[in-house]
Amino acid sequence: MSDKPPHLDIQVDDDAPPTPYRPNPKVAVVVAGAALAVTFGLTLLVIPYVRQAAKLQAAEAADYALKEAAKASRVEAGVEAPEVPLTFREKLEALKNAKEEEEVNEELGEPVEPVSPWLGFQALGIATAIVGVSAGLGVWGAAKFLGVNSMEEFAARMRGSLEETYPELIQQVRREGDEAPIDAPNLLTRHGEFNEPKFDDWIRGIEAEEAAEAASIKAAKAEGTLPKGDAANYGSRPQDSRVLAELAAKRDQESDVRLV
């Protein structure tokens, strides 16, 4: 006996036929594209700063190389500056400059090599890898935490959780009456695209049923055999002309229809 609630205890039938092909949810594609766009945008923002830092470091390296070359040339040439007696103020300034040069040399240390111009693409690759690994670990952790192995089990688990958490919402969605949902066929192709010819055939079938019903009611009225209830209830079904007009308007407004 399983300890899980009845609506969460999913039984897998090994003899059941394979499930039909279902495309990836549209939200997954949108989330992946948004993550890649954010990563690419952040990398583009970082590239100017990387180039500026590379230029500064290249300038420092060139300055350091020029100083070293000048010192070496003076030593090789054996040029010595003429000794001129310094005043007390000049000695103080020379001592101050010597201390500043010593601090700068300690900070610089080894010669700084220029930064590679491919650093921006390296940052893009690292950021993309971090986003992909984080998303993969998140999906894997959620699947392990919920104990699901497929999208069907995940959908069943989410439906059960929704029924437990918001029972009033479920009753509102499933209510019957004048606002009952229309019994529509599956209007998606195998690849998850909207099947417009099938939708048009379905609309024509509904129109034919309404035309036949209207003709029968008209004939019954002419013969005087129409019950009063039938005349009053005609047009109150959800699949009447009003609903057909709404469906046609919705089809014109939404070119990419996805049914959940």
The residue extents of the domains of the chain are 26-148, 196-253
User: pLDDT tens digits, residue range 113-131?
Assistant: 555 667 777 777 888 888 8
DSSP letters of 174-216? T--STTPPP-----B-TTS-B-HHHHHHHHHHHHHHHHHHHHH
Burial class (CB in 10 A: 0-12, 13-18, 19+), 247: middle
pLDDT of residue 1: 47
32's tokens: 């992946």
User: pLDDT tens digits, residue range 181-220?
Assistant: 556 666 666 666 777 788 888 888 888 888 888 888 888 7
